[in-house]
Structure 1
Amino acid sequence: MIDALELAETAVAACFDAATWAATEHDLVAALDATHRLEQRLAAVKLTLVRELDGRGTATAQGASSTAVWLRDRLRLGVGAARRLVELAAVLDAAPAGVRDALTDGLVNVEQVRVIAETVGTVHTVAGAQAADKAVGVLVDWAAQFDATLLRKLGSRILDHVAPEVADAAAQVALQAEESRAVRDRHVTVSEQPDGRLRLTGTLDTEAAALLRAVIDPLTAPAGPDDTRTPGQRRHDALADVCRLALRAGELPEHGGDTTQLVVTTSYDVLRQHLDAGTLDTGGHLIPEAVRRLACDASILPAILGGTGQVLDVGRQRRLITGPLRRALVLRDRGCAFPGCDRPPRWCDAHHLLHWTDGGPTSLDNAVLLCGHHHRHIHHSDWVVQLGGDGRPEFRPPAWLDPDQLPRRNHYHRRR
């Protein structure tokens, strides 16, 4: 085996020196197809080796806690990729011979193998070995045309083709099996980065996915023609808005005896003079502009320290816009007051027109409702917010946008 693999490695290495620019389009496509088949065959060999090593206990014999951990160190993989190798090796080992042969022949890829094996297993349970054998052939044929996602959808009705007499009953079994897989595989990983940011990865089950889409999708639309955020940035900001709403709702469980809250620590002089940064209770750091913006939100408590580190104020909750004052603000603005924004009150922060750190009072005539996006925008742009003669908020655009700087208002909420 080693000799054969070394010969294959030499042959593949020689392909790097091939003059692809001189090849015809037909030959390039044929080479791509051959490369893909070879990749699947190598995957089959690799998974077979992983399964054998796992079965022998090689990893634990060499001091590793598991085969996945051993593969991570041996092959310099991420731990998630290493675990996936072990899982796929087990799936391939348990798969019908026809599925293993299809992978070895380069007819299917490893993701399709997982789908076929799980689908065939369900068919075998419901309709018996003969129907399962038929299902292998049908699914392998479909795999030549469809990727793993579509193959799984088609496989949900495989019994219509191989055992129609039990198809309806089996559809319910398959649905339950899919639900079980979704529950088993659900996870969210939160990885802290060196600079204090977090990387989120994971897989949601069907119900949680629907919940997330229901709350995220309405918040990910561009805020207007001037919104230059990428779709990924809009999803990030939407998730932050959802978290702010959860904090504001006041229904989260207690954490360490206190209600759930975010604490930002900074010095009073820093906050006043726009110098240096604030520190989150998680250890991350924020620029002063972000600290001042967060100080507008009653759900996020600023811990203000004097020159000797003495705590001068933690939250000043009585000075924040909560309770009856917020309800009055909601009745007046009805949602985000920025021109053209349709965000409802529950997605909005109460923003001080004159920052409370600059002596601004906490009162109805010194406050305005702003959604998370426009709250950030106001704190980082030249827009000026003021109250008009009728006591309603209006926004004066920067000179580069409107040389006359005529005040603008949100008319969306007035229409309802």
Structure 2
Amino acid sequence: MSETFLPELPQELWRAGKLELAHGVQHALQVIRIATACLGRFLAEIESRGAKDLYGHGSTASWLAEIAGLSRGEAGPIVKRAIALNPTRALDGTEVPPVAPATAAVAALGLVGDERIDQILEILKNLPAEISAEDRAGAEQILANLAPNAGPRQLAKAEANLQDLLNPDGNEPKDPEPKEPRREITLERRKDGFWKLTGLLDDETGARTAAALEAHAQPRPVDEFGQADLRMKCERMGDAWAELLDLAIACPDQPGTSGYRTLVHVTVGLEELKSGLGTACLDFVGTMSAREARLAACDCLMVPVVMGASGEPLDMGRLRRFVTPGQRRALNIRDGGCAFPGCHRKPKNCHAHHIEHWADGGPTDLRNLVLLCGFHHRLIHHGDWEVRVAADGLPEFIPPQYRDPLRKPRRNTLHHV
């Protein structure tokens, strides 16, 4: 590769604007992926000729491990991926076609990274063995077309659709053997304000808990700009626990909450709440910033508390629900889930966000409401994205300039045909 492929770095990177930084990252990612595809072609040729004859190594992976300073375990997947994407030759000189040629073509353009390539290869491996070569090639072409703009969740959904199409009978179900229930949970608040949760679950309850957490702890899909979810698994599991609690509290039959997601006691004045300065008390458990209170107040019960100079409560307003059950049902039907482009979250995982916040005089009606999952709700409140309801009554999102210089409005097309 010539050095013209390398992104041009400003001499003083700290002077670069956010648009220049974002373009630099996107360019660098594409360069890395193109270089990785090029490396794969070299490794496939070495595999064809034989690493032992060329370099005296027993395998291409062991040779790569030595020259790249990798462990054998790290080099193995790289070589395996290279062989799957590129043609090789057998001992008699006949060509062995690649497992995923369509994916290789996309990878060569720098449009897909190793993670999605590995996912596609795993999906192809799990396809029914009895399907024809034509059906297998068609399935791989579908996955390769999706990969540049899809995240892991979307590819997993495509896999499920392919399995239903190619293997309609499915696999024979297995009945698990239940064990004697034993469940223990301990919850205590630490001095630093965090809560420590420990427990012991029987096999069935543990499996159900793990399944529920895993379902909500999947990495967020890679968006249309290629931005991936960088949370560690433990962080995703913690966020999943919070989502499950949110769902439980929102249940109409839940004791003590009556289906309301949050009970917020505002201990600051309206002006402080507008500016985001000050604190609020979340159900008498602890404090939160007024900025966080704005986010929580979008879909909750609000009890305004007027505080005196000495901190004593002078007046407590009446309980008020800002989004009625009827409005929530209408939102669920209109948006079908989180309305942010590319988000797969369902209505039960979403909050009703006020486009113009109620503290700023925004009305609580459908043209001023949109469903957002917790992550994208926070992004809209604290990021540079904007949301509005278009003339046809559907929400659309305007990306920040560093994501799209033209700021072209985008919509979520995952929830509706």
1:211 matches 2:212:
no
- CA distance, structure 2, for counterparts of residue 385 and residue 260 of structure 1: 23
- CA distance, structure 1, for counterparts of residue 237 and residue 189 of structure 2: 19
- CA distance, structure 2, for counterparts of residue 201 and residue 283 of structure 1: 20
1:382 matches 2:384:
yes
Counterpart of 1:313 in structure 2 is 317
Q: Post-superposition shift, 1:307?
A: 4.5
For the residue of structure 2 that corresponds to 1:190, the secondary structure is strand
Q: TM-score, normalised by structure 2?
A: 0.51
Q: Post-superposition shift, 1:357?
A: 0.9
Deviations 1:70-103 (A, max 9, x none): xxxxxxxxxxxxxxxxxxxxxxxxxxxxxxxxxx
Counterpart of 1:199 in structure 2 is 196
Counterpart of 2:274 in structure 1 is 272
- CA distance, structure 1, for counterparts of residue 265 and residue 219 of structure 2: 29
Q: TM-score, normalised by structure 1?
A: 0.52
Q: What amino acid does structure 1 have at the position aligned with 2:382?
A: H
Contiguous gaps of at least 5 residues in structure 1: 1-174
Deviations 1:79-130 (A, max 9, x none): xxxxxxxxxxxxxxxxxxxxxxxxxxxxxxxxxxxxxxxxxxxxxxxxxxxx
Q: Post-superposition shift, 1:282?
A: 3.7
Counterpart of 1:338 in structure 2 is 340
Q: Post-superposition shift, 1:188?
A: 1.5
How many pairs align?
A: 231
Contiguous gaps of at least 5 residues in structure 2: 1-176
Q: What amino acid does structure 1 have at the position aligned with 2:302?
A: P
Mapped contact 2:355–2:362 kept (Cα < 8 A): yes
For the residue of structure 1 that corresponds to 2:391, the secondary structure is coil
For the residue of structure 2 that corresponds to 1:405, the secondary structure is coil
Q: Pick from 166, 183, 188: which aligns with 2:185?
A: 188
Q: What amino acid does structure 2 have at the position aligned with 1:204?
A: L
Give the structure with the larger helix fraction: 1
Q: Post-superposition shift, 1:359?
A: 0.7
- CA distance, structure 1, for counterparts of residue 399 and residue 248 of structure 2: 32
For the residue of structure 1 that corresponds to 2:215, the secondary structure is helix
Mapped contact 1:382–1:398 kept (Cα < 8 A): yes
Counterpart of 1:303 in structure 2 is 303
For the residue of structure 2 that corresponds to 1:235, the secondary structure is helix
Cα 1:315–1:384 change in 2 (3 A) is farther
Deviations 1:374-414 (A, max 9, x none): 11222221111111121111111111222221111101012
- CA distance, structure 1, for counterparts of residue 265 and residue 192 of structure 2: 16
- CA distance, structure 1, for counterparts of residue 374 and residue 403 of structure 2: 22
- CA distance, structure 2, for counterparts of residue 222 and residue 237 of structure 1: 11
Cα 1:223–1:231 change in 2 (3 A) is same
For the residue of structure 1 that corresponds to 2:207, the secondary structure is helix
Cα 1:253–1:238 change in 2 (3 A) is same
Mapped contact 1:351–1:369 kept (Cα < 8 A): yes
- CA distance, structure 2, for counterparts of residue 409 and residue 195 of structure 1: 41
Please identify, of 223-232 and 354-363, the stretch whose mean Cα deviation from structure 2 is larger.
Answer: 223-232
For 1:88-237, what aligned pairs fall within 5 Å after superposition? 179-180=179-180, 183=182, 186-225=183-222, 226=227, 227-237=229-239
Cα 1:224–1:258 change in 2 (3 A) is closer
Cα 1:208–1:263 change in 2 (3 A) is farther
Task: Flag the structure with larger Rg.
Answer: 1
Higher relative CO (CA 8 A, sep ≥ 6), structure 1 or 2? 2
1:410 matches 2:407:
no
Counterpart of 2:252 in structure 1 is 250
Q: Post-superposition shift, 1:262?
A: 3.4
Q: Pick from 364, 367, 382: which aligns with 1:365?
A: 367
Q: What amino acid does structure 2 have at the position aligned with 1:242?
A: L
Mapped contact 1:196–1:285 kept (Cα < 8 A): no
Cα 1:406–1:209 change in 2 (3 A) is same
Q: Post-superposition shift, 1:371?
A: 1.2
Q: Post-superposition shift, 1:214?
A: 3.0
Counterpart of 1:22 in structure 2 is none
Q: Post-superposition shift, 1:289?
A: 1.9
